[in-house]
A and B are shown apart, each in its own frame.
Chain A
Amino acid sequence: MRNLLSANFLRLRKSGLFWGLLGVMFTLGAAFTLQHFTHWLKWGARFYLTIDLLTYALLLGFGMAAFIPLFFGAEYSDRSIRNKLITGCSRLSIYLSHLITSVAVALCAAAAYVLPVLAVGLFIYEPPAIDMGTLLLLLLGSFALLAAYCALYTFVTMNCSRKSTAAVICLLGMLALYLAAGNIEIPLMHPEYLNWVVTETGETIPGEPNPRYVGGTARVVLETIQDLLPTGQSLQYMRADVAHPVRLPLYSLIDIAAFTATGAALFRRKDVK
């Protein structure tokens, strides 16, 4: 496994795709921050640091959907995966080495994004509205989410012999998951009451109930689906507004275990040409 990781990282260092991904993430981080910086200069608008900090959780959902099939799919298109199998590398170690390398790439790309946000943003942004402990938990949770994305795309890439097909499946799959999470989120965003009434004693009480509010079991089900979906988690991390910050990394771990166990089992039986 160590040898395979060493080989993967060697290839990564020579890969234009890898450096391109880092460049794009850095540029996006810088662009978002500069946009807010401009607003601050013009209108004195102040933003919380968390406004852009965790946006990579969504961006890399798409970024890794392109990177993993193109980078590791080359093992099939260039047929170099044979060199590993012929010389006795186990299929499980090949699979896991690709997953670990992907996670390392995702973390590097997240760092490339966060770097300009922190470098500039620390001077112009308000401190986060959440405490440091929660922020740290969100950061760790977002890393687990990136690993879940990597596990999903590694599953597809390792079991699809065509690089371009794998890339299309991953990107379209990500888009579908993103739309699904967006559609699930809409009913969950409706407030329970249309308004709040202040009584003569100064007490605030709920006013008219919102007919579009989803409550009870339906809400629990939708929230669970939203938390389980990587894209549902991405939307929550992006806003730094996470209802269940402890539960989400656990769901990501479940996603990682499920994708990896299934993907590795299928890859083990796969006929390589």
Chain B
Amino acid sequence: MEYVLTTQGLSKRYKDFKALDNLTMRVPKGSIYGFVGRNGAGKTTLIRLICGLQSPTSGTYALYGVDRTQRDIAKVRRRMGAVVETPSIYLDLTAQDNLKEQFRVLGVPSDDGIPELLKLVGLEDTGKKKARNFSLGMKQRLGIAVALAGDPDFLVLDEPVNGLDPQGIIDIRELILKLNRERNITVLISSHILDELSRLATHYGFIDSGRMVKELSARELEAACRKCLRVEVTDTRALARVLDGMGVDYKILDDGQADVFAQVNISQLSRALDGEGCELLSAQERDESLESYFVNLVGGGSHD
């Protein structure tokens, strides 16, 4: 698999506070990578590092396989765009002038692409209105347009729906999906709004106290969160034979436990197991949401 971003043992320390602790992650090309963590978990710190705003205390990262210390990293950065925390736009300029400004920074020879970009983010009718008079959602969309000015194929969005109204959230979600599907842009989104992320992400990285706790694809997460019956038996080989015979999807967890992904008749299952010389010890229905998965993963203690 090709990776847009890989980090290896990345750490960042601010005086006595360790914001990132030996973090290793991989963002596959073409994915929408949901970077999940509580406030203060280290999400923004990681984004600041990979955007070149700050330097890591130790460890390294690579963009498109180019290490941060290599000379070519500046060229590779041209392929990325980012909105870190709040949108980075000149408040005393119009939406069009903000894009013109970024086009100059990038050395884009013509301003012809500006109307298309404004249309893409739904700001084509803002005219001479200065960005300071924009709503939060409009600013956020302009920030994304500025990030898209260099036609990047890797977009980093830090908490893109924070503070937005429901319509603003939908607009941003649809925009991200459109960029990913139509332009094949890889997107890294950090968020603690799990419900919103679950509608977008194809891959997840769970971070806690600066450490990567778990990385998995949306399919793996779905399997982990799938509604299932967790059964405890004396012989999982016998259980497998019975479940295969019933044509049911299952996953053996260990010698005595398995998850069964179907509505099964307990009496029927028990009888069938009995015939195989296996005892059904317990059966418990499980239905885990992304939220509960996250809480189980990082613990449910109070955080700021």
Task: Report the separation of the CA atoms of residues A14 and B94 in the bound assembly, to the nearest whole angstrom.
Answer: 10
Given contacts A7-B101, A10-B100, A272-B54, contact A78 B78 (CB under 8 A): no
Q: Is B52 an interface residue (CB 8 A)?
A: yes
User: Per-residue 0/1 for B58-78: is the Cβ within 8 Å of any A Cβ (1 yes, 0 no)?
Assistant: 000000000000000111111
What band does the interface of chain B fall in when counting residues whose beta carbon is under 8 Å from A?
35 or more
Given contacts A78-B88, A78-B91, A273-B53, contact A83 B75 (CB under 8 A): no
> Inside 8 A of B101's CB, which chain A residues have their CB?
7, 10-11, 80
Task: Report the separation of the CA atoms of residues A264 and B228 in the bound assembly, to the nearest whole angstrom.
Answer: 60
> Inside 8 A of B78's CB, which chain A residues have their CB?
87-88
Given contacts A74-B90, A78-B91, contact A85 B106 (CB under 8 A): no
* Residue in A11, A80, A271, A273 with the greatest tally of chain B CB atoms within 10 Å: A80
B88 touches A80 (CB 8 A): yes
Q: Is A244 an interface residue (CB 8 A)?
A: no
B77 touches A86 (CB 8 A): yes
Q: Is the interface of A mostly helix, strand, loop or mixed?
A: helix
* Cross-interface CB contact of B52 among A3, A14, A85, cutoff 8 Å: A85
Given contacts A78-B89, A87-B77, contact A7 B82 (CB under 8 A): no
Task: Report the separation of the CA atoms of residues A83 and B82 in the bound assembly, to the nearest whole angstrom.
Answer: 8
Q: Is B133 an interface residue (CB 8 A)?
A: no
B88 touches A82 (CB 8 A): yes
Q: Is B288 an interface residue (CB 8 A)?
A: no
User: Per-residue 0/1 for A86-98: is the Cβ within 8 Å of any B Cβ (1 yes, 0 no)?
Assistant: 1111100000000
A7 touches B104 (CB 8 A): yes
B100 touches A271 (CB 8 A): no
Q: Is B137 an interface residue (CB 8 A)?
A: no
B53 touches A85 (CB 8 A): yes
A86 touches B93 (CB 8 A): no
Q: Is A39 an interface residue (CB 8 A)?
A: no
Given contacts A11-B90, A86-B52, A87-B77, contact A4 B105 (CB under 8 A): yes
* Cross-interface CB contact of B82 among A14, A16, A81, A82, cutoff 8 Å: A82
> Inside 8 A of A74's CB, which chain B residues have their CB?
90-92
Task: Report the separation of the CA atoms of residues A269 and B55 in the bound assembly, to the nearest whole angstrom.
Answer: 8
A86 touches B80 (CB 8 A): yes
Residue of A nearest to B146 (CB): A83
* Cross-interface CB contact of A14 among B51, B76, B80, B93, cutoff 8 Å: B93
Binding site for B on A (CB under 8 A): 2-4, 6-7, 10-11, 14-16, 74, 78-90, 269, 271-273
Q: A14-B97, A271-B55 are known contacts; what are 16 more A-B pairs with Cβ within 8 Å?
A: A2-B107, A6-B104, A10-B100, A10-B104, A11-B101, A14-B92, A78-B88, A79-B84, A82-B51, A83-B102, A83-B105, A86-B51, A86-B52, A87-B77, A88-B52, A89-B74
